[in-house]
Structure 1
């Protein structure tokens, strides 16, 4: 069977947090809340590298933190059932919230659960779910307000609440209160890394330099300890203790395995100290080690051009970067939901499109696709590269959901933002092929971005598939052959060209040999096994064909073409009743008009049947055994 790989499926991980939010919970009657008692909140200052305060635009005074309302014990019997002002019951709101969360509508679910918590504050489980829902939805103020403290709540959630409350206090301009929160109740596992990374920046903003420059805990793993020391090096530079900062960076870059990760920030430090030649050494070393990213390349170009050194991050920017690093570590451990929490906190401190893109990608990785797409929609057009990446990620997500037209719109937006980017044009062509718009795909594939002297095998392959779909077999063969010369052992290419030769009868034996090689490389692929069985059928090896085609149907039971092939093979070995079963089965599957007509003709002409379309369960009336 010929096949073009469908859209990439990049993000299939499930979100444990989203599942926990959907778990059942019992709510009970809420008492009247006690009056809120305002508490005085001191103001904190952020600082730039020179120690001067960073001005903040204050629209209104920070809301004073209310005391927790006194909560009555959970009553044995509800009388009456709690209702909100619109006569919605706590039960109904809770079920609506659960349904929204399981559908991936994080913001809607968070709103419902917040309303349930307002009716039933005595319920620790409801409070926990309202808190986690608010986190995933990005409502950090609400999450900080209702962060659980009950001993019955999972410590993982309680520690997340401590982190959120401290960071949100700092984001609101109260560095001293944030520092005091972290001092009084340090953030514990599994959020201890994030808590320690951000603690230094918050303490520095609060002018608590002893805590800001504290060494990492002895029980930190080696990588986390190095990350913490990199933060410390930046803070030493903030404190103008340049020799100590340089010593930290020199030690961090001296490690054989991890040292290359710190060459870029060390290079920037050296630029700020006027040591351009030394900075160039660091950038070149990163390139040699293969760890160079865009920032390293830009740093090297900046040094050679004698450009202005990059500014030292402010305390808020440093705290945001620390949280992004902690998010990277969580995501690497597949804890996507906590990675999202850290990224949202970072975005609240230092809003930018790069972090917003990461939020959307991480939500999708965690299986919360609607929320991920909503986050990606907030990436602005300020950076064409980031905007295009967000549109592509959204298109992939929509494609997985079968929303091809919407995916196509997103890819067209990406192409408009990056009109000279060949990779975007290739993805757009692939989407058009997926939607069987082969002529439109060919326009792109034959255009100046993709039809180049150095085009990759993927472009040749996709162009060949487009030609084959339009019955332009000679051109298809030339493109597929060109692709195969570049990737001679690629199972997909071997199968596709081999099947073309077998199916058209042009080079049956050579095509069959290529398919056999593909099957040996990918024995679990049902499409390739179908090609092998069909090649055997075309060579008159009917019994062998039946064995392989049965195996292919087992692997791809909903594939109409494979079921049709098996019907033909059954007919060839005299198993007419089973052939009729397979052909009737084809009519119940997703099948194009041409194949449907061919199968209906087989049923009428060979078996004397009216096509049943009965999912393959009808009798083969008139069949001769």
Structure 2
């Protein structure tokens, strides 16, 4: 099963349990109506639609993340019912998520008192005012006393930057210093306090704020992008003051936190070459954009796409050339199935940005997502040729090869990358060995694959994906059973909310004939990934084995609804028609078998190891 691991600026996660414990839900998400069906005629001509047709078509386009069509249909519906509040709300939000800021602001002026979208409308009007340098107006629009901790933090950050723009920098710093909130607030407050002090010319205060944040890795893990941005701000401050040793030490702290993070490497090369880095934030507009980016990146998770898109598009309206915002927005477009939009955004990353190469790598992956595999391969091979020492290029190219099931070329690609590293790989290189092992496992070269799985774990002990893959492979081959189960359980302990790894544990129990345990774990996996084809299929098999045949057929039908590949569809349809063979029987092994020479499972179900075939672009925080 191919998980869509998109290149991220760092190991971006949401605020996790810290935030979720304080929030009933995302503050800005307005989901499309469940009544919207993909069967609606979203491509119908607007001029022939009545109100109901336009409304339904708009909802359907909204559901499918087709923002331009949704805007067209919502506007058509408003021709029939100009005052409809729900349509006006959806139109405004969709305009903003599509990046059509000025059009959205025109609606926001009329909707700032609508409780359903007051926060969005007020944010938009404040951003518009900051862009126009009307800082007093912007400050007055932002409610820094909100009960919602995310809204309160964001509004306070934006209000402080507006006050800074109005010449009230000391007052703005005092506001940031006095803000109380959840334990994850400091990682944001320290960065912005440091950036603001630096922009005011107070290097000593800036350094204290940056150092306090960089020293607090535990809170940094709640918002990795903001933590790394603080590291880079500290390194830039030291570089500007001629303290090269201090700048490199700051970067080392970041590299320890997130090994292999490309912008850190680019900044290190810049400083070592004697070049002076530029300050990250110099204006109120840039500071406000950074506030939106830092919150957006921290919330970047499945289910919060609309909120993240709003924050990033607002940041883009304030600072159109900020590379970090553009790359993350492009990756979000990819996650939403809009590779064409992603490519356009990647192309807009400034040529002189350290993140330009990242955007080029992502552009290659987006081409593959569009079905342009040949063009994607040519693009990525050209990037490898332009800088053979850049390991990211091999990872991106390997991603396309794995998707194309060209495992022989995939193995050669990673062997080349490992040769580039030389005889002393670091922790950051674990994924090259992991991906090589996957390619060799698919080529049924198990001894080589096993050795490289183990090598990856030597470099990065307790890496969940590697433990998951290796542990399951052992179980499927009926070898090292106790060690394999312990390894998968350890992966689950490290990633209890990863539906794919939990599925592996359940499926391992299934392969060992422990069907009740399999049902327990697979039911947990389906709660985490309810629409996943394979997990639904696995749970159906487990239900069948424990005699819950009606529920088994329901799960198999759910798997079919989610558009499986042709070979999987045929296998599921056969099970719906015939059920599973008796446990004592064996069925022909599918091409998903981990290796040649593996012993068939007792009941013949073909294995599927739930692990990504794509690279993890940036290592997780330590």
Instruction: Using structure 1 for the length normalisation, give the TM-score.
Output: 0.60
Aligned pairs for 1:565-580 within 5 A: 570=582
| 520-529 vs 102-111, which moves further | 520-529
Q: 1:370 aligns with which of 334, 337, 354?
A: 337
Report the Cα distance in structure 2 between the residues aligned to 1:270 and 1:334, rounded to whole angstroms.
39
Q: Tell me if 1:313 matches 2:281.
A: yes
Aligned pairs for 1:36-51 within 5 A: none
Label 1:458 to 1:250 Cα distance change in 2 as closer, same or farther (>3 A).
closer
Report the Cα distance in structure 2 between the residues aligned to 1:289 and 1:439, rounded to whole angstroms.
34
Q: 2:104 aligns with which of 140, 143, 159?
A: 143
Label 1:270 to 1:521 Cα distance change in 2 as closer, same or farther (>3 A).
closer
Label 1:113 to 1:531 Cα distance change in 2 as closer, same or farther (>3 A).
same
Q: After superposition, give the CA deviation of every residue in 1:427-452 in whole Å (9 maximum; x if it has no partner).
A: 64565455454555566466576798
Aligned pairs for 1:187-586 within 5 A: 188=146, 189=148, 190-209=150-169, 212-216=172-176, 218-224=179-185, 227-242=188-203, 244-245=205-206, 248-249=209-210, 257=218, 262-276=230-244, 279=247, 282-283=250-251, 306-311=274-279, 313-315=281-283, 316-331=285-300, 335-352=304-321, 353-363=323-333, 369-371=336-338, 374-380=341-347, 382=351, 385-391=357-363, 394=366, 398=369, 405-406=371-372, 409-410=375-376, 412-419=378-385, 420=388, 421-422=390-391, 424-425=393-394, 428-429=397-398, 431-432=400-401, 434-437=403-406, 440-441=409-410, 444=413, 457-468=433-444, 476-483=445-452, 486=455, 490=467, 492-493=469-470, 496=473, 512-514=478-480, 518=484, 525=504, 550=545, 570=582
Q: After superposition, give the CA deviation of every residue in 1:186-206 in whole Å (9 maximum; x if it has no partner).
A: 364443322322233333334
Aligned equivalent of 1:166: 126
Post-superposition shift, 1:231? 2.7
Label 1:394 to 1:206 Cα distance change in 2 as closer, same or farther (>3 A).
same
2:346 and 2:360 in contact (8 A); partners too: no
Instruction: Using structure 2 for the length normalisation, give the TM-score.
Output: 0.60
- Pick 1 or 2: higher relative contact order, CA cutoff 8 A, min separation 6: 2
Report the Cα distance in structure 2 between the residues aligned to 1:243 and 1:8, rounded to whole angstroms.
43
- Unpaired runs of 5+ residues, structure 1, are 26-83, 469-475, 500-510, 534-545, 574-578, 592-625
Describe the SS at the equivalent of 1:337: helix
| 410-419 vs 276-285, which moves further | 276-285
Aligned residues: 475
Aligned pairs for 1:608-619 within 5 A: none
2:334 and 2:342 in contact (8 A); partners too: no
Post-superposition shift, 1:467? 3.5
| 324-333 vs 444-453, which moves further | 444-453
| 436-445 vs 322-331, which moves further | 436-445
Q: Tell me if 1:91 matches 2:52.
A: yes
Post-superposition shift, 1:105? 0.5
Report the Cα distance in structure 2 between the residues aligned to 1:483 and 1:241, rounded to whole angstroms.
51
User: Considering only CA atoms, is the larger Rg found in Structure 1 or Structure 2?
Assistant: 1
1:492 and 1:518 in contact (8 A); partners too: no
Report the Cα distance in structure 2 between the residues aligned to 1:17 and 1:255, rounded to whole angstroms.
29
1:495 and 1:531 in contact (8 A); partners too: no
